Amino acid sequence: MRGLRSSASAHQQKLFDGPFNHSIIKRAKEKGLVEIHLHDIRDYAKNKHKRVDDYAYGHGAGMVMIVQPIADLIDKLKAEREYDEVIFMTPDGILFNQGTANRLSTFRNVILLCGHYKGIDERLREHYITMEISVGDYVLSGGELAAAIVTDSIVRLIPGVLGDETSALSDSFQDGMLSPPVYTRPADYQGWKVPNILLSGDEKKIQKWLLEKAEERTRQRRPGMLEE
């Protein structure tokens, strides 16, 4: 994957400063492994006051993002390059998981559209949006934090982003299980001991133990994952 485009207002874009300008994502950008472009929907509003929202027809649900600025922005982006998906961040989208992160990390270009207020005009969803993602069954103030979560989880999967290529593959969820517990030095911290088996040097036994612990943890915390 090369290019990620997020659409949000200038004010909301500040929410991306932290996540996109530190650590792994920052390094990935510096190495040229990913490009992230932020677009302010307000810049595309053609009305006098640069309004991007209006009252909902039919019920007092609150403000809804209007069609024109978002349609113009997406049209402009699509005229410049091809996109694999135009994704709308919304609590009623499909629940984001590692499988979706893996799939998105193989794409060249995606648009992440961040909604606000009560959502976006349904006609945008019908005519532009190819995928809708929720990061959990709770409501955020806007899609930006959700987009940051999705971006982080896919950028770390792009080859070359993590120093050790195997470390993303050994993440929790990658083999349908949670990760086993991990330990580091000292082997004895004030009487709290690292399990002997990890110090034994017997690689076969260690692997077997790690698998057992991963299964145990998954059974206790996410039994549904084992059934899948």
Binding site for ligand ADE (CB under 6 A): 89-91, 134-136, 138-140, 143, 146
Adjacent-strand bridge partners of 111: 5, 86
Pairwise CA distance, residues 38 & 200, whole Å: 51
Smallest separation, CB 96 to ligand ADE (Å): 8
Smallest separation, CB 65 to ligand ADE (Å): 12
- Sign of the CA dihedral running 70, 73, 79, 83: negative
3 or 143, CB closer to ligand ADE?
143
Smallest separation, CB 75 to ligand ADE (Å): 23
73 or 114, CB closer to ligand ADE?
114
What is the b/e burial string over 38-74, where b = at least 16 CB atoms within 10 angstroms of the residue's CB?
A: bbbbeebbeeeeeebbeeeeeeeeeebbbbebbbebb
152 or 175, CB closer to ligand ADE?
152
146 or 168, CB closer to ligand ADE?
146
Measuring CA to CA, how many Å separate 131 from each of 19, 45, 88, 114, 127?
A: 23, 24, 6, 13, 11
Task: Count CB neighbours of 78 within 10 A.
Answer: 14
Strands (E), the chain: 3-8, 35-40, 53-55, 63-65, 85-95, 109-114, 131-134, 188-189, 192-193
Smallest separation, CB 3 to ligand ADE (Å): 21
Smallest separation, CB 146 to ligand ADE (Å): 3
Smallest separation, CB 120 to ligand ADE (Å): 11
136 or 195, CB closer to ligand ADE?
136
Residue nearest to ligand ADE (CB): 146
28 or 146, CB closer to ligand ADE?
146
